[in-house]
Structure 1
Amino acid sequence: MKKIERGAQFVAQNLQLFCCPVCQADFTKVVEHSVFCAHKHQFDLSKKGTLYLIKHGVTSDYDDDEMWQARRILLQAGLFDPIIHAIIAQMDQPTNANILDIGCGEGSVLHRLEELRQNKTESYVGFDISKRAINLATQQETTGFFCVADLAALPFRDKSFDYLIDIFSPSAYHEFKRVQTDQGKLLKIIPNANYLGELRRALYDKNDEKHAYSNQKVLDLFYQHYPEAKTQRISYEFELTPKLFENLLKMTPLQWGASKARLQEVAQKGLTKISVDVTLLMGEK
């Protein structure tokens, strides 16, 4: 089956998940490779089987093929595996669960979740604001569906997802709560002070504001919306080969504010391991 046909099939079988980004009406039908809402707004599937569900043009610092390819290499090498296992440990095995990957990037996390969960009754949807990332995500061998969408105006119906996965993405909690089922969970990963600490300290001097990091504001905001939230710290070291380190530099936004001279120096010296230090936030309504 072609990707466009697979995408059309997924939407047709899961119309109850989607709503129109233009008028917020429900999606009602799929005709060949086009999707229609109740007010007859039309959205055409791409050849890769994706939908563009943003009603305005967007620009993103993350719309970079090289960065997304580097992320895929690191994730397929296992960089986030302990994080993904911790997320899965907080998920039940309900029948017909709907799972949303917020800011899914090039799709590796969604693919790994599906691979580890091994539950064919579940529906997986990943979205990102980067069209390049979504195009790469369609290369994954997954039954999931990918679309271009804006987290501040989610093209999904109220109470449509049992699990919302958010790894390092920004948050629009009013929208997250809207699409979260009454018994659903938001599982959000935020970096701690020592996340990629070796690289941060190598790239920035002590007097630079990027030399240190605090997630307190992000944590406080989460508790404002989910006062009964639970947290779990996940901390480990990940071994790097020279090639993996090269891709780590391409993948992380930490490089964006560093001088070219410092980047070249760090690239030459390299790192043999990196610290992954994050907090899993678990929010229920």
Structure 2
Amino acid sequence: MTNKEKSAELVSKWVHVFSCPVCNSPMKVVDLKSLICLNNHTFDFAKQGYVNMMTRSVDSHYDKKLFEARQKIIMESNLYKPLHAWVANVIKEHLKLIKGPVMVFDAGCGEGSHLQRIIAECKNEAITGLGLDISKEGIRMAAGNYEDSIWLVGDLANSPLADHSCYVILNILSPAN
């Protein structure tokens, strides 16, 4: 199974969390290729396993070199280890009250390393990660490195997520309001 198909299957399980960024209607996965809303706004899965849900083009100032350096610091040093452990402990405490699967959303996830570390630290198979960033380069890198989460290119100001769809929202290193 390709990364594109694996991603589409995972999104199919969580399709209820999506809302069309154009018209805010619910979405569905079609033929393991596209996310399509009731009004036929279509967002295709990329071969790398992410979905670009931007409704306009943007010039991100974040490039591949920045994301590679950021990933190296997050994944190869202990700089953020106390933060990841603390956030994971907070999530684990609250999960004691929840039955069933839980979505953890990283708003402005960059290349996905913070989300990946926190989910790994939680050690709970009921958790699925969802990372969103305006930078296509960051999301492409996240999808290439971490296949067990959902990765979206999107705009936080025009979120492709339904209200109240995620149990946890992270915002680490993102300049978003």
What TM-score do you get using the length of structure 1 for normalisation? 0.58
1:139 CA displacement: 2.4
Q: Which residue of 2 aligns with 1:128?
A: 133
- Verify the 8 A CA contact 2:134 2:153 in the aligned structure 1: yes
Q: Which residue of 2 aligns with 1:157?
A: 162
Gaps of 5+ in 2: none
1:142 CA displacement: 4.0
Q: Which residue of 2 aligns with 1:86?
A: 86
Bigger fraction of residues in strand: 1
- Verify the 8 A CA contact 1:100 1:125 in the aligned structure 2: yes
Secondary structure of the structure 1 residue equivalent to 2:35: strand
When Rg is computed on C-alpha atoms for both structures, the one with the higher figure is: 1
Q: CA separation in 1, counterparts of 2:87 and 2:167?
A: 13
Higher relative contact order (CA 8 A, sep 6+): 2
What do the CA deviations read for 1:16-58 (whole angstroms, capped 9, x no partner)? 0101111111103422311211111111110011111110111
1:89 CA displacement: 2.1
Q: Does 1:28 find its partner at 2:33?
A: no
Q: Which residue of 1 aligns with 2:4?
A: 4
- Verify the 8 A CA contact 1:11 1:30 in the aligned structure 2: no
- Verify the 8 A CA contact 2:4 2:33 in the aligned structure 1: yes
- Verify the 8 A CA contact 1:68 1:105 in the aligned structure 2: yes
- Verify the 8 A CA contact 1:111 1:142 in the aligned structure 2: no
For residues 43-82 of structure 1, the aligned pairs below 5 Å read 43-62=43-62, 64-77=63-76, 78-82=78-82
The count of residues paired between Structure 1 and Structure 2 equals: 171
Q: CA separation in 1, counterparts of 2:176 and 2:37?
A: 26
Gaps of 5+ in 1: 173-285
Matched letter for residue 99 of structure 1: V
Q: Which residue of 1 aligns with 2:107?
A: 102
Q: Does 1:168 find its partner at 2:167?
A: no
- Verify the 8 A CA contact 2:18 2:160 in the aligned structure 1: yes
Counting aligned pairs with the same residue, the percent is 30
Q: Which residue of 2 aligns with 1:278?
A: none
1:6 CA displacement: 0.9
- Verify the 8 A CA contact 1:106 1:137 in the aligned structure 2: yes
User: Structure 1 stretch 86-95 or stretch 20-29: which is displaced more?
Assistant: 86-95
